[in-house]
Chains A and B, each alone.
Chain A
Amino acid sequence: MQIQYSKNTFVSLRKSLLVYGVAVSAALVSISLVIALLGFNVPAALRTLVTTSFKSSFGLQETLKKTVTLIFTTYAFSIPFRIKFFNIGGMGQMLVGGTAAAVVGLSLAGFNLTFIVLAPLMISAGIVAGALYAFIAGYLQARHNINPIISTIMLNFVALLLVNFVSTTDPWRDPIEGHPMTKVLPAAGRLPFFFRGVPASIIFAAGAVILVYIFMKKSKPGFEINAVGYNLHAAQTYGINFFKTILLTFLLAGGLAGLGGALEVMNIHGKLIEGFELTSGAQYGIFGILTSLICAGEPLGVPIAALFMAVMLVGADALQRTMQIPVEAVFLTQALMVILLVVMRQRMGRK
C-alpha cells in the first residue's frame, strides 16, 4: 500500500518563513488559551515559557542539551518521511543506540583503553545498533509490505524492555541505585562539557546537520530519495531502485537516532538510565516527530525548529516548577500547533 497525499508538502522558502511566523504565533495563542482555561496567569506564564532558556546559563545549557537530542530524533522521522514513510521508531532506535554504547563501554572498561579508542568504538556501536534496528522496519516495509507505523511502534516497546533488561541485570546494573540504571561509564568513554556545561555532543549535532544537508542536496543517493518522494513512478521509470531507497532512508534515520542515544548516554548521563529518552512529559521521539512536521523535513530547518522546540520544553519544565502548570499543557498545545501548521501548509500549497 502506497501512502498518498498532496505533492505540495514542501513549500518555498518565502512561504515557509510566513508559515513559521504564523506557527510561533499559533503556538503562543493556543498555549495562552489552554493556560487561561486552566485558570493560571497568562502573561506571567508566557514570560516564563519564552525567557527561561535565555535568562540563566543553566537555562541555556538545558536548552542546548535538548536541542542536540531533538536534532537527531527529528532527522530520524524526517528522512523516511521524504519518501512518505512514517518512522515513529526514533525513540526505539535512540534507546538501542544508547544501550549498545553503554554495553560496549562497560564491557571494555577492564582494558583501560584511551579516549581515542574507546569513545569512537562506543559511538560507532550506537550508530550501528540504531541503524540496524531501523533497518528491521525498513526491511519489513520493503519486503513484506508492513507499514512502519506499526512495526516501528512494536519495536519501540521491545527497545524499552531491552533497556530495562540491561539496566537491571549483572554485570551492567548499578546494585546501589533504586532506579534501574547501569554503573558509571569509564572516564575514557564519556564526552566532556565545554564552558562548564555546554555538551560536546553539540559538535556531533552540527556535523550531522552539515552532512545530512550535503547528502540530501548534493549526493546521488540523496537525489534519488528526493526523486522517489516527489514522484515514485517517474523515479522508477528513471531506474531508481525503490527497495534500496527505502532501506537507505531507514538506515540513515536509525543511525542518526542511535548516535543521538549514544551521545545522550556518553555525554549527558555518563551511564544508561531507564527513562533517558524522556523529557518534559514525553519522549524525544515524539517531539522529534512534531519538530519534523514543523520544519517540513527541510534539512536546514531542522536545527532551527529543534532549538524552538527545546526553548518551549525548557519553558514547560520551568512552568511546572514555578507555577505548577502541568508540562502536558505545553506538550498538548504543541500537537495542536502542528495540526494547525499542517492544515495551513496544505492550503497554501494548493493555491
Chain B
Amino acid sequence: MFNTFITQVMVYTTAYALASLGIVIAGRAGIFNVAGEGIMLASASAGFIVGYLTGNWFIGFLAGALLGALFGLILICLHETFHVSQFILGICLVIFGAGFSDLLYKLLIGIRLSPPIAPQAPVVHWQLIANIPVLSALINQNIIVYFMYMSIAASYWFFYRTKLGLETRAIGENPKAADVVGVNVIKRRYYSTIIGAALIGIAGAYLPLVVTGTYSPNISAGRGFMAIGIAIFSSWKPQRVILGAFLFAAIEVFSYRLQVTSTQIPYQFILMLPFISVLLVMIIFKKQVEYPGSIGKTYARE
C-alpha cells in the first residue's frame, strides 16, 4: 500500500521536477521563465501527436523537447533583442501555448470516439530489489524517471563543480560584474533559457506519454505554474528541486486518494488541497527563500 503510494508519487514527481529544473536553470542566469505552463501544454500536444503518429515514444519526447527549446528561443530572443519584460513575454507565451496545443490536436488528430493511446515509455524492472519497499518504488520506474535523476545530478554538478556553472550563477546574481570579468552574458542566457525550456518541454511530453497515455485539453492543469512555486521554494537550487517536487506530488496523489475514500468532505474541497498548499508552503518557507539577485530584470550594457 505504502509502496504503491510512493511509486505513484514518483510518477508525478518527475513531471514537477523536470519542469521546475527547467525554470531553475533559466533563473540561475537571471531569466524568470513564467511560460512553463504554455510550454508544457504545447509540448504535451506535440509530443503526444508525434509519438502517436510515429509509434515511438522516444521521438515523441524529442519533439516535446525541441518545441520547448523553440519556445525558450522565442522568449530569450525577444527579451534580449527588444528588452521586453520577461513577465509579459512569459504570460503571452502561456496564452500562445494554450491555444497552440488544442489547435494542433484538433487539426492533426481531430475528434475520436475513443481516445488514441500513445506508446508508453518503457519501465525498468529489477527483480533483485522488487520486494524492498521504497527503494523499489524509487528505482523500478519508467525510463524518464532515470532521466530526471540524471538531470538533477548533472545540473548540481554543473552549477557547483564547474567554472562554467559558477560563471552562470554569477550572471544570475550580478550580470554587470560577470560582464566586466569577460563572461558573455547574452550568450549564456540564451543557452540557459533554451536548455531549461527543453526540459520543461520534456516534462510536458511526459504527461501524455507516461502519466495519462493520451492527450486531453488543459492536460498540465496548472503544473507549469506550480513548478514556479517549487523553484522558489527550493531557492533556485537544483538539488532541492527534487524535494519540493516530491512534496507537491505527494500532496497531489494524497488528494486523489482522499477523494476516493472520504465521503464526509465534498471532493471539490479535497481537490483544492494542492493549490492551497502551494500558497501555504510559500508562506511558511518565505524566510528561507533566496532569489538570484538579478532575476527578472532586464540587462543592458549601457
Contacts and interface: CB of A to CB of B under 8 A. Distances in A.
Given A150-B225, A154-B225, A158-B276, A282 B282 contact: no
Interface residues of A, number: 47
Contact of B283 (A88, A140, A147, A334): A140
Interface in B272-291: 272, 275-276, 278-279, 282-283, 286, 291
A346 B83 contact: yes
B178 interface: no
Contacts of B98: 282, 286
Contact of A332 (B100, B276, B295): B100
A278 to B, nearest CB: 11
B98 to A, nearest CB: 7
Contacts of A5: 83-85, 87-88, 298
8 contacts: A5-B83, A140-B283, A154-B222, A161-B268, A282-B99, A332-B96, A335-B96, A342-B88
Interface in A269-293: 281-282, 286, 289-290, 293
Nearest to A328: B103
B68 interface: no
B286 A329 contact: no
Nearest to B278: A154
Interface in B253-297: 266, 268-269, 271-272, 275-276, 278-279, 282-283, 286, 291, 295-297
B99 A342 contact: no
B47 interface: no
B143 interface: no
Consensus secondary structure, chain B interface: helix
A282 B41 CA distance: 14
- Size category of the B interface is 35 or more
B223 to A, nearest CB: 11
B266 A169 contact: yes
Nearest to B276: A158
Nearest to B298: A5
B250 interface: no
Contacts of A162: 268
Interface in A115-161: 140, 144-147, 149-151, 153-155, 157-158, 161
Contacts of B286: 144-146
Contacts of B279: 140, 146, 150-151, 154
A326 interface: yes
A121 B173 CA distance: 52
Contact of A293 (B88, B93, B283, B296): B88
A4 interface: yes
Interface of B: 34, 78, 82-85, 87-89, 91-93, 95-96, 98-100, 102-103, 106-107, 221-222, 225-226, 228-229, 232, 266, 268-269, 271-272, 275-276, 278-279, 282-283, 286, 291, 295-298
A165 B291 contact: no
Interface string A297-337: 00000000000000000000000000000101101101110
A28 B98 CA distance: 21
A234 interface: no
Contacts of A338: 92, 95
Contact of A6 (B89, B107, B298): B298
B191 to A, nearest CB: 22
A153 B37 CA distance: 11
A86 interface: yes
A158 B102 CA distance: 23
A293 B93 CA distance: 13
Contacts of A63: none
Contacts of A144: 282-283, 286
Interface in A161-176: 161-162, 164-165, 169
B225 A4 contact: no
